C-alpha cells in the first residue's frame, strides 16, 4: 500500500521531527498528571461507573464527571452530558446561556465554523426557527489579522457599541487556512473584553483544543467554554456527549437549554454506565499526543513532497488539526481515499463528497472510525471548494497515524497499489 519513495521520505521526516515529538510527550506527561490529580481529588471509585435509568436522578457518575470537567477546564462549574449530540449542540447551549434578546453576539475570530451558521441565524437557510436571530440576538464579527492573531483595536471598537452581550472565540481553525489561537492569546482577548465591560461574557469553542497545551481557556479568563467528547477529551473511548464549563450561572443556563428550565443538569440517565466516560478522559492526554504526533509527521512529510501545509511541522500548536493544500478536487478525493483505505473500519469504502446538514458546500469525509464521526480517531475531511485544502486530525496511535498518512501520500502520487 505504501510506496518505497514515501517510505524513504517518511524516514527523513521522522528524523527531522524527533525533538518536536519529545515536546509533545512532555505536554502529555503534565496533562496526565493533571488528570490523575483530579481523579484523586474527587475520589473516583467504581461506584461512579454505575448506570441509571428513567430520569437519572442522583447519578453519581454524571455529577462527578461534571466536577472533573470543571477541574480540568479551569472553571468553577461544568455540565457533562451524553445529551449533547455534538460539539455544535454544546456550543449552541453555551451561546444561548451567554446572551439575552436584544443583545449582539460578536465573533472575534471571523466567521464561525459552518455548522454554527444556522444556530446563529446567518446560514444560507436564513433565520431558522430556534436560532439566536429568531430570539432577536444579532450578529457581528471582527476578522483576524493576516498573521492569524486577534485584531485587538477592532475588537475594542466593536465593544464600544454597547449592545454586545457575548464575545465568541473559535479556538481551532475550522475549515480555514489560519492558525489556532493559543490559550495565552485567548486570555489577552478575555482581558480586553472584561476591561471594556465585565458584564460581557467570553464564550470559547474549545473543540480540538483540549489537552494540546497545559492550560485551558477557563484558566485564562473565559467565562464559558464548550466541547465534544468524540473529539479530544473523549480519548477515543467516549461514545457520545459533550460538556459546557464556566461560571456557575452560565453553566446552569446552558443546562436549562439542554433539558428544561428548573431541571437542567439534574437528569439524564445512562443505563450502560459511565466507565467509558471516565476511562476516555483518563486516556485523553495520551491520545491527544498521538494525534499531535501524527499531525507533525504529516506536516513534515507533505512539506518534503512540495505541498503547502499549515501549521508547519515545528510551529507551536493549539489544536490537533493539520491543513494540507492540495490544489484540486482530484487530489483531495485521492487523499481521502488513502486515509480511508488505511483505517481499521470500513477500509474498503471509497469516500465521496456529498451534501451534509449544516454545511453550505458538499463535504468529503474519510473516517474509518470505531465511533461514528469521532475526529480524535484518524480522519480527514474538507469542503469541496477552492483551494481544496484537506483537514487531517486525530489518531488513536502514532503508529497507525503514520500508516494512514503514508498511505494517503502514496495514493496522491499514483504509487498506490
Nearest alpha carbon to residue 212 among 397, 27, 20 = 27
Three-class secondary structure of residue 324 per DSSP: strand
Check: CB of residue 318 under 8 Å from CB of residue 213. Answer: yes
Q: Which residue has the cell 443505563?
A: 271
pLDDT value of position 38: 98
The maximal CA–CA distance of the chain, rounded, in angstroms, is 62
pLDDT in tens, the chain (417 residues): 799 999 999 999 999 999 999 999 999 999 999 999 999 999 999 999 999 999 999 999 999 999 999 999 999 999 999 999 999 999 999 999 999 999 999 999 999 998 899 999 997 766 788 999 999 999 999 999 999 999 999 999 999 988 999 999 999 998 888 999 999 999 999 999 999 999 999 999 999 999 999 999 999 999 999 999 999 999 999 999 999 999 999 999 999 999 999 999 999 999 999 999 999 999 999 999 999 999 999 999 999 999 999 999 999 999 999 999 999 999 999 999 999 999 999 999 999 988 877 677 899 999 999 999 999 999 999 999 899 999 999 999 999 999 999 999 999 986 443
**Confidence (pTM):** 0.96
pLDDT value of position 125: 62
C-alpha pair distances (Å), 125 with each of 116, 129, 318, 335: 12, 10, 32, 31
pLDDT value of position 303: 97
Rounded to whole angstroms, the Cα distance separating 31 from 262 reads 35
Where are any strands of DSSP class E within 82-228?
104-107, 138-141, 164-170, 201-205, 224-228
pLDDT value of position 417: 38
For residue 206, give the C-alpha cell.
Answer: 474549545
Q: What are phi and psi of 138, to 5 degrees?
A: -90, 170
Q: Which residue has the cell 481553525?
A: 173
DSSP 8-state symbol, 354: B
Check: CB of residue 315 under 8 Å from CB of residue 17. Answer: no
Check: CB of residue 399 under 8 Å from CB of residue 353. Answer: no
pLDDT value of position 400: 98
| Cβ-Cβ contacts under 8 Å for 333 (sequence gap 6 or more) | 351, 352, 353, 364
Element (H, E) at 383: strand 379-383
Rounded to whole angstroms, the Cα distance separating 342 from 378 reads 10
Q: What is the CA radius of gyration of the chain?
A: 21
Q: Considering Cα of 46, then 49, then 51, then 55, what sign does the dihedral take?
A: positive
Q: Considering Cα of 40, then 46, then 49, then 51, what sign does the dihedral take?
A: negative
pLDDT value of position 174: 84
Q: Which residue has the cell 497499489?
A: 417
pLDDT value of position 126: 66
CA 392 to chain CA mean position, Å? 12
Nearest alpha carbon to residue 408 among 327, 329, 343 = 343
Nearest alpha carbon to residue 282 among 117, 65, 80 = 65
Q: Which residue has the cell 456527549?
A: 241
Q: What are phi and psi of 354, to 5 degrees?
A: -155, 165
CA 358 to chain CA mean position, Å? 16
Burial class (CB in 10 A: 0-12, 13-18, 19+), 327: middle
Strand pairing category for 104-107 and 164-170: parallel
Rounded to whole angstroms, the Cα distance separating 337 from 31 reads 34
Q: What domains lie within the chain, and their CATH numbers? A: 4-31+286-412 (3.90.1150.60), 44-280 (3.40.640.10)
| Cβ-Cβ contacts under 8 Å for 110 (sequence gap 6 or more) | 141, 142, 143, 144, 170, 176, 178
Amino acid at each position: 500500500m505504501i510506496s518505497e519513495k514515501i517510505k524513504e521520505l517518511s524516514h527523513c521526516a521522522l528524523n527531522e521531527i524527533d525533538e518536536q515529538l519529545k515536546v509533545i510527550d512532555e505536554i502529555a506527561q503534565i496533562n496526565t498528571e493533571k488528570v490523575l490529580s483530579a481523579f484523586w481529588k474527587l475520589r473516583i471509585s467504581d461506584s461512579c461507573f454505575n448506570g441509571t435509568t428513567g430520569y437519572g436522578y442522583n447519578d453519581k457518575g454524571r455529577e462527578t464527571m461534571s466536577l472533573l470537567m470543571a477541574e480540568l477546564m479551569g472553571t468553577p462549574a461544568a455540565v457533562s452530558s451524553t445529551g449533547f449530540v455534538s460539539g455544535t449542540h454544546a456550543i449552541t447551549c453555551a451561546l444561548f446561556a451567554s446572551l439575552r434578546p436584544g443583545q449582539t453576539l460578536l465573533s472575534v475570530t471571523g466567521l464561525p465554523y459552518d455548522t454554527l451558521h444556522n444556530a446563529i441565524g446567518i446560514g444560507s437557510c436564513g433565520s431558522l426557527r430556534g436560532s439566536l436571530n429568531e430570539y432577536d440576538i444579532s450578529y457581528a464579527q471582527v476578522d483576524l489579522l493576516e498573521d492569524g492573531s486577534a485584531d485587538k483595536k477592532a475588537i475594542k471598537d466593536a465593544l464600544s457599541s454597547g449592545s454586545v452581550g457575548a464575545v465568541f472565540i473559535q479556538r481551532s481553525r475550522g475549515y480555514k487556512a489560519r492558525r489556532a489561537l493559543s490559550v495565552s492569546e485567548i486570555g489577552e482577548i478575555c482581558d480586553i473584553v472584561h476591561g471594556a465591560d465585565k458584564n460581557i461574557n467570553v464564550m470559547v469553542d474549545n473543540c480540538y483544543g483540549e489537552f494540546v497545551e497545559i492550560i485551558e481557556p477557563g484558566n485564562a479568563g473565559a467565562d464559558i467554554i464548550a466541547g465534544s467528547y468524540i473529539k479530544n477529551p473523549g480519548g477515543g473511548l467516549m461514545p457520545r456527549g459533550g460538556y459546557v464549563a464556566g461560571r456557575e450561572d452560565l453553566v446552569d443556563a446552558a443546562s436549562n437549554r439542554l433539558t428544561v428550565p428548573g431541571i437542567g443538569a439534574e437528569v439524564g440517565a445512562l443505563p450502560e454506565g459511565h466507565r467509558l466516560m471516565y476511562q476516555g478522559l483518563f486516556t485523553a492526554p495520551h491520545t491527544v499526543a498521538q494525534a499531535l504526533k501524527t499531525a507533525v509527521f504529516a506536516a513534515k512529510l507533505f512539506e518534503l513532497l512540495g505541498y503547502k501545509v499549515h501549521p508547519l511541522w515545528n510551529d507551536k500548536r493549539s489544536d490537533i488539526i493539520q491543513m494540507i493544500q492540495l490544489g484540486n478536487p482530484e487530489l483531495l478525493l485521492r487523499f481521502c481515499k488513502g486515509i480511508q483505505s488505511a483505517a481499521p473500519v470500513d477500509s474498503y469504502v471509497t469516500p465521496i463528497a456529498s451534501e451534509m446538514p449544516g454545511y453550505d458546500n458538499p463535504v468529503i469525509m474519510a473516517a474509518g472510525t470505531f465511533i461514528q464521526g469521532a475526529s480524535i480517531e484518524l480522519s480527514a475531511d474538507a469542503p469541496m471548494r477552492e483551494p481544496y485544502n484537506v483537514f487531517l486530525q486525530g489518531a488513536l496511535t502514532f503508529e497507525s497515524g503514520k500508516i494512514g498518512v503514508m498511505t494517503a501520500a502514496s495514493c496522491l502520487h499514483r504509487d498506490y497499489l
